């Protein structure tokens, strides 16, 4: 008689995502403590205290969102300023996301609140990028002059919390970019270099549509960014994004404005620069997305740039909604799930040192621990129901694209603990509107 292997959790009969091959195949998962201990054909002798029937559902490694704003309570409060910050667990585990990165909500003046208060109180694994502007987005714009960037303080701040602060964030928006030009991204890169971390650059001057942003974009891609730096808002239609400027004549014969992917973007990709989608409010355009894809660049990672406002009024309702948007552009479901699991895990894997309190080294490192499912990996798992249909996805210009799938998080397991899922950001829960006939 085989001995019983006592487990805490069994997930039975789900379609499991293999992130190496980007395929789905039926199987089971057994979890003990915070680890996956068996997968695919889990023997009957693995008996669990709790069982989840996942038949008809998709099971992925915990979804990762590389661009969010979750510094709740750290933005100034006034009758004129809404708190744009999302609750970390609402963007995280209660939405089926196990790991997220706060992308520059805070600068040196207020990141202590994120690191010492928000993150220790979140069930979600939260990492952070330090805004190059000392005030973070407590004040928008966060950079109005060179005085808003304090190099030595920023380097020291990162150095003090390398377990959480994994890079620098800089937004190439006016007036920062129009006032400082290339000195803005150079100052950000200098901090990142001296601290030994990556830089995430927001491309697309949504606030100013300035010539400076337009001129800086190819230079940033060609001269400034290095391996594992991240470009976010890859599908922005704003000037200073990844597309060339419209031709002065107002467009090509086809009347499409003639905007094409900057060749510097492909060169940067070849050097190991990562491209993230970062849907957000005004930073995602279906038209721009199609041009970027036509130019031969499929971004590495899908992220939401979700804020409190975007969650309820759009256009970035949730990471699940953002994955559906990307699928509506012709990316397969399986590829989009890899862009939300293994690919962002690979981006994070270059972060040094490994996260405190996690088994990051023993089993092959951070990349092995996140973004894939195998015996010995951290039991961060997301269970999804995939709804087929004709779903209306909306972009920052109000344009609608019809997608074949809508994703609903059904369950989320973080380090072996089953987390409750929220009702969802839309009137009907998690799903976008069905196509109107
Ligand atoms: Zn953002």
pLDDT average, residue stretch 313-339: 96
Min mean pLDDT across 234-248, 279-293, 351-365 is at: 351-365
pLDDT (tens digit per residue) in 376-393: 888 999 999 999 999 999
Q: What is the pLDDT of residue 267?
A: 98
Instruction: With both helix axes pointing from N to C terminus, report the angle between 151-160 and 183-195 in degrees, rounded to the nearest 10.
Output: 40
Does 84 score more than 60 pLDDT? yes
CATH architecture type of domain 63-349: Alpha-Beta Barrel (3.20)
Distance 379 CA to ligand 1 centre (A): 28
Does 145 score more than 50 pLDDT? yes
Distance 355 CA to ligand 1 centre (A): 23
Does 361 score more than 90 pLDDT? no
Distance 57 CA to ligand 1 centre (A): 31
Distance 343 CA to ligand 1 centre (A): 19
Whether a cis peptide bond, with omega within 30° of 0, leads into 175 is yes
Q: What is the pLDDT of residue 353?
A: 43
Q: What is the pLDDT of residue 140?
A: 87
Distance 100 CA to ligand 1 centre (A): 12
Distance 280 CA to ligand 1 centre (A): 7
Distance 232 CA to ligand 1 centre (A): 8
Question: Could you tell me the pTM of the whole model?
Answer: 0.94
Distance 211 CA to ligand 1 centre (A): 22
What tokens does 414 get?
């973080």
Q: What is the pLDDT of residue 23?
A: 97
Q: Tokens 């602060």 — which residue? A: 165
Does 368 score more than 60 pLDDT? no
Dist. CA 107–CA 212, nearest whole Å: 24
Dist. CA 66–CA 73, nearest whole Å: 21
Distance 309 CA to ligand 1 centre (A): 12
Q: What is the pLDDT of residue 304?
A: 98
Q: What is the pLDDT of residue 358?
A: 46
For 47, phi and psi rounded to 5 degrees?
Answer: -100, 130
Contact 168, 199 (CB under 8 A): yes
- Counting residues of the chain whose pLDDT is more than 90, the rounded percentage is 81
Name residues with Cβ closer than 5 Å to ligand 1, which is an ion.
103, 305
Q: What is the pLDDT of residue 303?
A: 98
Distance 422 CA to ligand 1 centre (A): 22
Q: What is the pLDDT of residue 314?
A: 84
Distance 167 CA to ligand 1 centre (A): 14
Dist. CA 15–CA 333, nearest whole Å: 12
Distance 17 CA to ligand 1 centre (A): 28
Q: Tokens 């400034």 — which residue? A: 224
Distance 148 CA to ligand 1 centre (A): 19
- Domain ranges for the chain, please list them: 5-61+369-419, 63-349
pLDDT average, residue stretch 34-43: 94
Distance 69 CA to ligand 1 centre (A): 6
Q: Tokens 């009137």 — which residue? A: 427
Q: What is the pLDDT of residue 349?
A: 79
For 198, phi and psi rounded to 5 degrees?
Answer: -85, 165
Q: What is the pLDDT of residue 308?
A: 86
The CATH class given to the 5-61+369-419 domain equals mainly beta
Q: What is the pLDDT of residue 255?
A: 47
Q: What is the mean pLDDT of the chain?
A: 91
Q: What is the pLDDT of residue 81?
A: 59
pLDDT grade, residue 146 (50/70/90)? very high
Distance 103 CA to ligand 1 centre (A): 6
Distance 78 CA to ligand 1 centre (A): 21
Q: Please write down the HEC assignment for all residues of the chain.
A: CCCCEEEEEEEEEEEEEECCCCEEEEEEEEEECCEEEEEECCCCCEEEEEEEECCCCEEEECEEEEEECCCCCCCCCECCECCCCCCHHHHCHHHCEEEEEEECCCCCCCHHHHHHHHCCCCCCEEEEEEECCCCHHHCCCCCCCHHHCCHHHHHHHHHHCCCCEEEEEEECCCCHHHHHCCHHHHHHHHHHHHHCCEEEEECCCCCCCCHHHHHHHHHHHHHHCCCCCEEECCCCCCCCCCECCCCCCCCCCCCCCCCCECHHHHHHHHCCCEEECCCCCCCCCHHHHHHHHHCCCCCCECCCCECHHHHHHCCCCCHHHHHHHHHCCCCCHHHHHHCCCHHHHHHHHCCCCCCCCCCCCCCCCHHHHCCCCCCCCECCEEEEEEEEEEEEEECCCCCEEEEEEEEEEEEEEECCEEECCCCCCECCECCCCECCC
Whether a cis peptide bond, with omega within 30° of 0, leads into 353 is yes
Q: What is the pLDDT of residue 90?
A: 95
Q: What is the pLDDT of residue 138?
A: 85
């Amino acid at each position: 008689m085989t001995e019983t292997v006592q487990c805490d959790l069994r997930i039975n009969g789900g379609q499991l995502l293999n992130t190496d091959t980007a395929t789905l195949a039926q199987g089971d998962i057994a979890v003990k403590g915070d680890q996956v201990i068996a997968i695919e054909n889990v023997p009957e002798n693995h008996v669990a205290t709790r069982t989840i029937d996942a038949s008809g559902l998709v099971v992925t490694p915990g979804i990762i969102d590389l661009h969010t704003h979750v510094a709740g309570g750290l933005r100034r409060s006034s009758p004129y300023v809404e708190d744009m910050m999302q609750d970390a667990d609402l963007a995280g585990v209660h939405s089926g996301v196990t790991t997220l990165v706060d992308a520059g909500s805070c600068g040196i003046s207020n990141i202590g609140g994120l690191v010492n208060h928000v993150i220790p109180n979140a069930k979600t694994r939260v990492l952070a990028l330090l805004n190059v502007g000392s005030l973070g987005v407590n004040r928008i714009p966060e950079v109005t002059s060179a005085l808003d960037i304090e190099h030595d303080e920023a380097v020291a701040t990162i150095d003090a919390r390398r377990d959480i602060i994994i890079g620098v964030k800089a937004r190439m928006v006016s007036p920062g970019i129009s006032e400082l030009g290339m000195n803005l991204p150079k100052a950000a890169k200098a901090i990142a270099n001296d601290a030994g971390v990556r830089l995430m650059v927001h491309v697309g001057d949504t606030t100013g549509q300035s010539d400076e942003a337009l001129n800086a974009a190819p230079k940033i891609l060609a001269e400034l960014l290095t391996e594992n730096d991240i470009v976010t808002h890859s599908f922005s239609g704003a000037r200073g994004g990844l597309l060339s400027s419209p031709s002065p004549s107002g467009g090509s014969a086809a009347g499409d404005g003639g905007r094409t992917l900057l060749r510097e973007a492909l060169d940067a990709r070849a050097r190991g620069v990562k491209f993230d989608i970062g849907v957000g409010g005004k930073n995602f355009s279906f038209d721009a997305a199609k041009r970027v894809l036509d130019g031969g660049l499929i971004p590495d990672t899908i992220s939401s740039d979700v804020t409190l406002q975007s969650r309820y009024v759009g256009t970035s309702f949730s990471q699940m909604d953002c994955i559906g948007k990307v699928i509506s552009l012709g990316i397969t479901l399986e590829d989009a799930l890899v862009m939300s699991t293994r690919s962002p895990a690979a981006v994070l894997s270059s972060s040094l040192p490994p996260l405190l309190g996690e088994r990051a080294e023993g089993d092959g490192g951070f990349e092995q621990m996140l973004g894939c499912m195998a015996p010995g990996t951290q039991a961060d798992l997301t269970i999804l129901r995939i709804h087929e249909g004709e779903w209306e996805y909306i972009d920052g210009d109000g344009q609608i694209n019809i997608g074949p799938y809508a994703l609903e998080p059904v369950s989320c397991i973080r380090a072996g603990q089953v987390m409750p899922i929220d009702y969802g950001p839309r009137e009907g829960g998690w799903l976008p509107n069905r196509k109107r006939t």
